[in-house]
Amino acid sequence: MAKAKSKNKTGQIVMLGAALLGLVAIFLMFAPGITSKAIVANKEAGTSSISGFKLIFGTEDGYKFNFMMFLSLIFTAVGIVGAILGGLLNMKLGNFLALGGFLLAGIFFFLFRAVFPMGVGDMTINGTTVLSGKDAIKALEEGVSIFGVTTKTTFSLGVGAIVAGILSIVAALASAAATFALKK
């Protein structure tokens, strides 16, 4: 009598879980990607934030399309497709795509603060460009003194980008576990 093959589906389940984490990371781009804090006369004057999707695709009020931030979505999508290929179709190539895609996505989510000035539009007054986007962000961070009152703005990574980065790296670790440690 032939012995029935027993399949351990743990690797496939882990890959589908990684795909789910990638989907959650994409939905987290509705949450703040960058948070800014205004400081006037050495006192906090208020905070504001802008969502990851607005940072990536731009808005009508001064933010332009940011390709470096867009790469985080592309890499997450590659990771999701790879995880689905690895989980449902049991393809090793899918596992490697998921591993690489999620790892790169996690890195790029954490780079949101570094590449943020690339998507900021020029500062204009009455249609005349006063500062380029990068210079405007630098001037806000260094501080502007008007009538002896110094105003500074600090920019930090938002909760959406942080959690999306963490989830992407966890999905990459899950993909690595399914690829190298778990038997299918």
pLDDT score of 138: 74
Give the architecture (CATH level 2) of 10-179: Up-down Bundle (1.20)
Residue 102 near residue 168, CB atoms below 8 Å: yes
pTM over 0.85: no
The H-or-E segment that residue 146 falls in is strand 144-146
Q: List per-block mean pLDDT (blocks of 10 residues) for the chain, which spans 184 residues.
A: 55 92 96 86 82 86 84 96 91 92 96 77 62 70 74 86 96 93 66
Domain ranges of the chain: 10-179
Give the Cβ contact number of residue 13 at 10 Å.
Answer: 14
Cα separation, 124 vs 10, whole angstroms:
57
Tokens of 120: 């900021």
The pLDDT of residue 146 is: 73
Instruction: Identify the pLDDT of residue 124.
Output: 62
